[in-house]
Chain A
Amino acid sequence: MFFVGGESNVKDYYDVVVIGGGPGGMSAALYAGRAGLSCLVIEGNSTGGQMNETDIIENYPGFEEIKGPVLGEKMRRHAEKFGAQFHTATVIDADFSGQVKRVFLDDGKVISSEVVIISTGASHRKLNVPGEKELSGKGVSYCATCDGHFFKGKKVALVGGGDTAMTEALYLANLVDEVLVIHRRDKLRATKVLQDRAFEKPNIKFIWNSIVKEIKGSDKVEKVVVENKKTGEITELEVDGIFIAIGVVPNSGIFKGKVHMDSQGYIVTDENMETNVKGVYAAGDVRSKKLRQVVTAVAEGAIAASHAAETYFG
């Protein structure tokens, strides 16, 4: 597979700047483009956001089964077809104080726009246990699709019990010898179909009611110390790696104090996806809401861009 996304020269003004190239951002760009607005999508990594780390997506209507990065590439191409431009960079600051907004990029560029749509998504939540930081990149990983290959024929732990955790467990089970799923409760939170598939895999084993206390190893991960919450029993599991999929935290740090957020740092919007700052919207996983899915992200991106087009360019 070859993803051919390229970049054109970036200008210093666009009608709409979308921060983040996940499904919410790309859908916003598609709708902005079709409304005749100039639009730049700024993405820190490969476009697609968390879809890029999803081996198979099978709950996005119209696609019974599609690889996450492929859906990402399709959405990008679709937005580009209607004029949206993409640029790889990290936004390091933003100024929403005037009618014209400005975003500051790590490559030194400053982009102005009438409307900003924040769709920065969310990142992997950390365990915050001893050894995690020290052994990060030395057997501790947050991305099975990135790093799974390094554990072929080996034994790994996977922490978590949600949809992401089970998707990763199933992906890893096809690569590694054995996956030990460590979950804090006595049942999974993941969607039923994913649970069933995971239970059927002979090389996925479950360690219930347990939390990780420590990750041990001198130069690379050797052991994971696990505590059973019910019995208080402490066990040391010998593994070559540990994958952590215990949920996400919003990528909203640089907007703190600029737009309203909930207590967890998710951005609060009205039903049009507009924040308390006129002309600044939020869409996708970074927004305060219940269900974080590709299908909800794209809906929010569409609502945000349509409302912006009507309200500020009508």
Chain B
Amino acid sequence: MIEITDLTVADTSGRAVLDRVSLHVSPGERVGIVGESGSGKTTLATALLGAIRPGLRAVGGTVTFSGTDVLALDRRRLRALRRESIAYLGQDPATALTPTLRVGGQVAELATDPSPESVARHLAGVGLPGDRAFQRRFPHQLSGGQQQRLALARVLAGDPELLILDEPTTGLDAITQDLVLRQIEELAAARGITLLFITHDLVAAARLSDRLVVLRHGRVVEEGPLAATLSAPRHPYTRELVAAVPDVAEAFEKYGHSVFETSRAPLLEVRALGAGHGRGRKRVTTAREVSFTVERGECVALLGESGSGKTTIARCVSGHHRPDSGEVVVDGEVLPDVRSRTLAQRRKVQLVPQDSAGSLNPRRTVGAAISRVLKVLQGLTGAAAEAETARLLALVGLPAEMAGRLPRQLSGGQRQRVTIARALAAKPDLLVCDEITSSLDVRVQAGVLDLVASLSESEGLGVVLITHDLGVIARMADRVLALRGGEVCEQGTVHEVLGEPRHEWTAALVAAVPSLRAELDARVA
């Protein structure tokens, strides 16, 4: 069905984004294309639709779909191909929905038969109600899960032969991801749709493909049947990828046994914290009566979906958000908000924010960002600061020459590591990490987590870890606070919360967590 031969796509400077990539997909097959950010996955996916991003150019090779040369099609035929044969579901499918278009219109404009009855059938196909009232709704009146399904119904309305999925589950929590993948799996099987699943997530790929293609720096480094490729990878890169996958069950067995005694003088004590956003009648309380402690060398995870209040709590600890009630106590001292903290108090607590791009001044070099902290909080200047900056960069796995770069010259993962280095420059006692690994590829993620864990062990660094990823928690945390709607719904050691969850939400989350090993075992059986 798809026949890509020696496709080479280069940017304006001549650097190859895809380098002689060949791919053969037969009708009804399910092929997973795995690679890290920057490996050329998305370029490959959209090339199949005859769309090459501005600034890139196909310089060699061919892309054929059912015998037609896609790259040579005129606009009208290309539109017909996209409309009738190939569907594309991109990252964060809900953003593909135009907010001014009603549910019915979203599906009807792409359906072969735009009648309300046919639209209702398409909606029912993805498990959505098809009645008139529902068809009259706008996307914002649906839940997040319904939006995902509507986006799927939309691209499937044209009865495509091939469905290209480009990271459709990135950023979703485990429960929603599980639902979306199951839905796609069932629909594709029922309708005999060929699947091309592009992802950086090996676990998701294992779930939805029969064959794997591993892409690195625009080249295919390994290709083969799923089980064989994952259980006995031939290429060292694939081996590295497989080894780096955070597997909850494995990490749990390996790390989940540490027990920290709660001492009388914890490093951090949060007492009955309450906080909210907005003013007057629009005030929304995002944290209610939250209490917990962190010991020296301990890592406490705040687990919750978006909107559960975990970031607000973290920002209260770092002093960037003023709580309505309750206290933040570090080393026995009640800390005010960050502006009123003394330099010594500021040094103790450091925040690594989620948005690394937004927290770095775009006009200051990486070195300037780090040495400023060294100067203000450590009193280091000149050659001493330079040496320390290089040491910190090396610590987070970045070469010393990065000090001269500006944030926009770095990748997302590199920026994230710079913000960690900047926080460590203060020699903090407590590190507050807000979803620091969510934008990182698995290999980089493993490196960052190892770094924080080793600092915690060797220097007694206390860590407050905010995440929605159970794999990260199993690897890192000693204790877990599960948050729902701003309240602690369950707390305990990792062993208690992940091993025997008591709250129904935690239990559902643990049950939905994907595991590479479990996926493989299921396949082989």
Q: Do A and B bind each other?
A: no
